[in-house]
Amino acid sequence: MGNAFYSNFLIAIFDAKIAVYRYFIELSYLGKNYCGWQIQTNANTVQAEVNRALSLILQEDIMTLGAGRTDTGVHASYFVAHFNSKQEINIPSSKSLIHSLNEVLPHDIAIANIFEVNPEAHARFSALSRTYKYYISQKKNPFTIDTSWIFKVDLNIDLMQKASSILLNYTDFTSFSKVGSDVKTNNCKITHAAWQVEGSNLVFTIQADRFLRNMVRAIVGTLVDVGREKISLSDFIEIIERKDRGLAGTSAPAAGLFLMDIEYPDEIFK
């Protein structure tokens, strides 16, 4: 008993001397071929591919933790995950690592940067805000078929813009949350929500401190109902205030949704 305790004590001291470094990894991916970011049983996910590639190149078991979970088919122009490693990765070696990772990863996942952060930095919980864009194509376009919602019905953009600004007056978005989501609160602080017309495309940009599962797609689907004049601005307000997902519109297709940016406090970076 005494010998076992002493041995475990020595092992604990030895392990404590092994430095563990924390890194942020910045990447982008086309979500078409993946069941979202987060690892799932019997499903192809972005996280599984990134873990596999990092473990292969670094020759140690690497588990990343992402800034959030994107749904099946949703894209990310900018995504952040963190991971721990026993290896110190300096700037020259990070460039080599990035190159090696991109060689072994599938063509629709690209690593842009890897850098060390403070040990307490967390890709998900340290984030101050996230920004999404949703793309609607108002005419058939073979080059954006996998990255936008082709919707050729005329829309009242002015009404959609007014409804978007209403979102900034509320914090509880239960009406736009996936039913059964395991979260402690449905409160989010939206700081920006607006539409832009770019040629034959409509682009919706929304920024908030956090997002609920399926929230952006549910909001877009409901805003499109406003644009079709199926529901009024007062109806839109009632949908939010009733906190009932069944009253909101159908979720917009995943293909048009992109995670575009994540903001972090300066103090987590080395």
Q: How far apart are CA 125 and CA 138, in angstroms?
A: 37
Closest CA to 187 of 164, 166, 208: 208
- How open is the CA angle 214-256-28, to the nearest 5 degrees? 90
Question: Of residues 71, 108, 146, 182, which has the active-site annotation?
Answer: 71
Burial of 228 (0-12, 13-18, 19+ CB in 10 A): middle
8 A C-beta contact, residue 255 and residue 70: no
- 244 counts as catalytic: no
Q: How far apart are CA 111 and CA 239, in angstroms?
A: 40
* Long-range CB contacts for residues 45-49, cutoff 8 Å, separation at least 24: 46/70, 46/76, 46/79, 46/109, 47/81, 49/105, 49/106, 49/109
DSSP assignment string, 177-221: S-TT---S--B--EEEEEEEEETTEEEEEEEES---TTHHHHHHH
**Chain position carrying tokens 């914090």:** 171
Residue 51's SS3 state is helix
Residue 237 one-letter amino acid: I
Instruction: For strands 21-29 and 109-117, give the pairing.
Output: antiparallel
Residues in the chain: 270
Tell me which residues are annotated as active site. 71
